[in-house]
Structure 1
Amino acid sequence: YEIYMRGALRSDGSRIPPESRIFQSSGWLSPQPIMESANENALMPPQTSTTITDLEPFTEYEFCVLAVNMAGSIFSDWISGRTGEGAPVFMPSPSVFPLSPYSLNVSWEKPQDNVARGEVMGYSINVITTQNMLPVFSQVVYIAEAHELSYIVTGLKPYTMYNFTITLCNRIECVTSEPSMGQTLAAAPRKLAAPLLEGVNSTVLKINWNEPEELNGPFPIYQLERMDSSLAITRVEVMKGIRFPGNGYYKFPSSTLPANTDFTDTLVYEMARAVAGRKEVVLRCLQARGEEPKQTNILLEPVKKTVNTFYM
């Protein structure tokens, strides 16, 4: 007898290992009853079983038997068998792709059978939380079933680097991939404190400011804005009898301006003269060329009978 072995057919048409003879047994097999003559039983019958070793775990092989006698030979049909599971030896690193400032998509591929070495029971997605010391600590963020090949990790910080690994488990053991890095997208900075002012002399101020507590992105470009003190108080609605303080501004009601009237880009607000002890605010609305400007007078609380300047 001879035994031949080959690997299962792959998608590319190859077989690993290729077909080869792995066992041979010779002898004399007589269908007649064993006689007492020593000459007739000089050869023992050939073996009809054997054990094949040094195979790969969880790998499919095909076998056939060749039987030969003095009249000729015949091959059996091929039959396949699979070895038992073993500890997995490799898991590819995942791919990490940013989706938003607060989420990353982690995806991975199912490893080949010759490295998984068993039925995949599931995957665990791990984020590495500490890298500046040994040993490296990781935290499991999700347990995936065998058919799942991606997961969206949420609740992350903007513009931050994260390292992920994938752990593959079969019925025997687990193996963890090398880490892959991904960075969340940038977001607007947060928690910016007011600047610090330091008077240098009568005409110069030195202004200092700190970075936002949460940058959430690359180092920002700072824009310093100045607002006149006359605009620093909270705006209030204009009401009859309310004194205009002169160091702020008012929000006039919509009924102040004429309805259904087209105006140019400019509205001139003038603080007019003191008349009979009462202050009169004149809103002069510049209209299209060739038309007389319309004006609306708003009476405020009496003030001193002098002409004052007010900033709007």
Structure 2
Amino acid sequence: MYEGNRTEALITGLLPFRVYSIALEACTNSGCRRSITTQVRTLEASPIDMAPPDLHVTGANSIEVTWQPPVEPNGNIIRYEVRRNGDLVSISDGRITRYHDFELTPGTEYSYVIVAYNSQGSVSSDPPVSETTHQSAPAGLAPPTLTATSGRFMRADWSTPVNPNGVILNYTLFVRHVTRRTETAYEFTANTFSFELGGLEPHEEYFFWLKTCTLLGCVMSERVMERTLEIPPANQNPPSVVLPHREISWSPPVNTNGVIRFYKLYRRRLFDDESATEMLERRLAANVTGTSYTDSDLLPYTRYRFQVTALNGAGETTSLWSAPMRSGKPRQVGYRPQPSKMYQLDPSRWWR
């Protein structure tokens, strides 16, 4: 290592934090003598050569991380840091080389790096290593957002679950009539997030809800209820007339298609000639919310027809004309006025 006449020397090329045995040998022309051996340890230096950790997926929410000390610790390792996706998640002393990482998201990839420290510096494992947690059933699926676009169509929009917990395979939209409980399901791909459903009934209430699945399970959303829009009513039957009370009554339309707000009752006077088919101008007799009306404006012994119009929030429907009717009582056939009775008076009783 050194040879010369000086009484001190700098020995180079040594490794950090290693124990070396050093002896001094002195020589003259007559011979040499060696001193007692002395042991000395070099100082620490930053560790080097840290291998990547070993990852073991233990479930949908956990990964076990194990590692080995640096190949060249160059001192006493005083702590290890575990970094997940660049964030510090654990600090341990130099004796612990294992960490179990919990509360992870299912079906998600995570990368890990281990940093080893001694008193002089640190070294990081290279390259980062990654693993993906197991998939599980998704969680946090919100119900669809509904928009009634007409009396027959409803638009549904939805989004991915709050926690997909894996690769979403599909979505299923369920539709159920509130009262009749008829149910239909529509299946969609994982990248479909809206659908306009047709074939519904006007102004009817329906339940809507979603289901989505991964390879390891499914989740259902809550149900939401929405009503389709109104459309004009249809199939209003003609009114009927009850004599002699002049009461006109009718039934609601066969298809109300909404809420009937009110009815318009029309009358039309016919010519008195029984053989005539023409009618006079149609006139509004009444606006009513019920299904009957007593018409006190009819002329006696006059022929009429009646018509009713039903209105909801979207439109109206009008019936055909009713059968002709005649107000008042019909004259009797062969009617003859009766002569007045004659009384004979006794003139003798006039004055007394």
Does structure 1 conserve the Cα–Cα contact (< 8 Å) formed by 2:178 and 2:207?
Answer: no
Which one of the candidate residues 150, 167, 175 is aligned to 1:100? Answer: 150
Which one of the candidate residues 226, 232, 237 is aligned to 2:267? Answer: 226
| Percentage of identical aligned residues | 25
Q: Which residue pairs with 2:141 in the alignment?
A: 91
Quickly say closer, same or farther: Cα 1:131–1:156, change in 2 above 3 A.
closer
Q: Secondary structure at the match of 1:87?
A: coil
Quickly say closer, same or farther: Cα 1:149–1:129, change in 2 above 3 A.
same
Deviation per residue, 1:254-305 (Å, 9 max, x gap): xxxxxxxxxxxxxxxxxxxxxxxxxxxxxxxxxxxxxxxxxxxxxxxxxxxx
> Structure 2 length as normaliser, TM-score?
0.50
1:66 maps onto 2:115 in alignment: yes
- Which structure: greater strand fraction? 2
Quickly say closer, same or farther: Cα 1:19–1:195, change in 2 above 3 A.
same
* Superposed displacement of residue 51, structure 1: 5.1
Query: 5+ unaligned residues in a row in structure 1: which ranges?
Result: 9-17, 27-45, 232-243, 251-312
> Structure 2: how far apart are the matches of 1:95 and 1:139?
19
Counterpart residue type for residue 106 of structure 1:
A
Structure with max Cα Rg: 2
Alignment of 1:3-152 (within 5 A): 3-6=81-84, 18-21=87-90, 25-26=94-95, 47=97, 52-68=101-117, 72-77=121-126, 78-112=128-162, 115-129=163-177, 139-152=183-196
1:171 maps onto 2:249 in alignment: no
Q: Which residue pairs with 1:34 in the alignment?
A: none
* Superposed displacement of residue 130, structure 1: 5.0
Deviation per residue, 1:20-77 (Å, 9 max, x gap): 2165552xxxxxxxxxxxxxxxxxxx75x66545533223333111234576421124
- Of 172-181 and 49-58, the range deviating more from structure 2: 49-58
Quickly say closer, same or farther: Cα 1:71–1:102, change in 2 above 3 A.
same
> Structure 1: how far apart are the matches of 2:118 and 2:192?
55
Q: Secondary structure at the match of 1:19?
A: strand
Counterpart residue type for residue 264 of structure 2:
Q
> Structure 1: how far apart are the matches of 2:243 and 2:89?
93
Query: 5+ unaligned residues in a row in structure 2: which ranges?
Result: 1-68, 70-79, 280-352
Equivalent pairs counted in the alignment come to 200
Quickly say closer, same or farther: Cα 1:69–1:23, change in 2 above 3 A.
closer
Counterpart residue type for residue 235 of structure 2:
K
Deviation per residue, 1:158-190 (Å, 9 max, x gap): 111111001111111111101122221111112
Q: Which residue pairs with 1:248 in the alignment?
A: 277
Q: Which residue pairs with 1:160 in the alignment?
A: 204
Counterpart residue type for residue 225 of structure 2:
M
1:185 maps onto 2:237 in alignment: no
CA RMSD of aligned residues (A): 3.0
Quickly say closer, same or farther: Cα 1:84–1:147, change in 2 above 3 A.
same
